[in-house]
Amino acid sequence: MKAEILRLLKETGGYISGQQLCDKFSVSRTAVWKAVEQLKKEGYGIEAVRNKGYRLVESPDIISQAEIESVVKTDWAGRQVIYYDETDSTNIQAKLAGENGAPHGTLVAADRQDAGKGRRGRIWDSPKGQCIYMTLLLRPELEPAKAPMLTLVMALSVAEAVKEQTGLEAKIKWPNDIVLNKKKICGILTEMSTEIDYIHYIITGVGINANQEEFPEEIKEHATSLFIEGGKRVRRSKLVAAVMAQYEKNYSAFTERGDLSALVLKYNKILVNYDQDVRILDPKGEYNAHAMGINEKGELIVTTAEGEEKHIFSGEVSVRGIYGYV
């Protein structure tokens, strides 16, 4: 009910009487008052005027269950939210939720992580009140071998949502990073629980640098934020909602065909590696090649110096620019 009251206050823009809220939710005035008081404690400026009702006068940049649920308008992606002020990792909590039967589309979000991780176990710095830390839980009817493609579906969705919300031309560094001006703003990590031919659940974690004003010396050369690049603060909940909306649409296109064929053109259009010389970091041996975009399986198509075409799978291989990160 708290999220729905918040949604109504945002949509109305003016006063809503306590009686209207009582009738809407079939609850007492005391229940409405308690919900409003909880919202005030979370930081919302809500004015209460006798004979007029309640009015939202200030809505700060908050990531909470009520806030996210009040702005997400999808059919299933992110409609159910599990929220933590602080947790170890939203991926860890999403796995627990998956084991406990949480439904398809559940979104786990936090304001801070103290054990966030990226690809290959790398630590992801997770300050409070500045970033987006979230993990989407899926229960798809999908062959386990196709699950890694969902990382690319999320990458495309994040880049599109960033463009929609900020106007910034976010790019994808294959397969799982989002970059602005050749610096990383977002990392994506997909994990799953499977049997040989069956997926119990898939989780895709997303960490977005939203409102940081600076970075530690050791990473500032390769990391940036939406605030640094755009010059203004981002409403994190609205960006979360935009990512969920784009993901639901792109996920539908993916599941209808069972591959990325409907998304390849959009993905390649914003792929920072497209038609670029890259360094392939293969455990079997590193080499330079020319990247030509992805195929319907999400593999990166490259041509070696000898003219050989290779299709690179992201599971064991990383890609860098010849002269730097991208």
Do residues 20 and 119 both lie within one domain? no
Concatenated DSSP letters of 278-292: EEEE-TT--EEEEEE
Do residues 261 and 236 both lie within one domain? yes
Do residues 175 and 292 both lie within one domain? no
At 20, which CATH number?
1.10.10.10
Which of 13, 38, 58 terminates a domain? The answer is 58
pLDDT tens digits, 36-81: 999 998 889 999 898 889 999 888 888 999 999 999 999 999 999 9
**Domain count of the fold of the chain:** 3
Q: How far lies 151's CA from each of 46, 135, 267, 298, 311, in Å?
A: 39, 12, 12, 9, 17
pTM of the model: 0.90
Do residues 167 and 192 both lie within one domain? yes
Q: Is residue 17 one of the residues assigned to a domain?
A: yes
Residue 196 scores a pLDDT above 60: yes
pLDDT at site 208: 96
* Tokens 């909880």 belong to residue: 38
Question: Binning pLDDT at 50, 70 and 90, where does residue 101 land?
Answer: very high
Do residues 203 and 246 both lie within one domain? yes
pLDDT tens digits, 205-228: 999 999 999 888 888 888 999 999
Do residues 39 and 151 both lie within one domain? no
Q: Is residue 326 one of the residues assigned to a domain?
A: no
Instruction: Provide the domain limits for residue 137.
Output: 65-269
At 287, which CATH number?
2.30.30.100
pLDDT tens digits, 150-183: 999 999 999 999 999 999 999 999 988 999 999 9
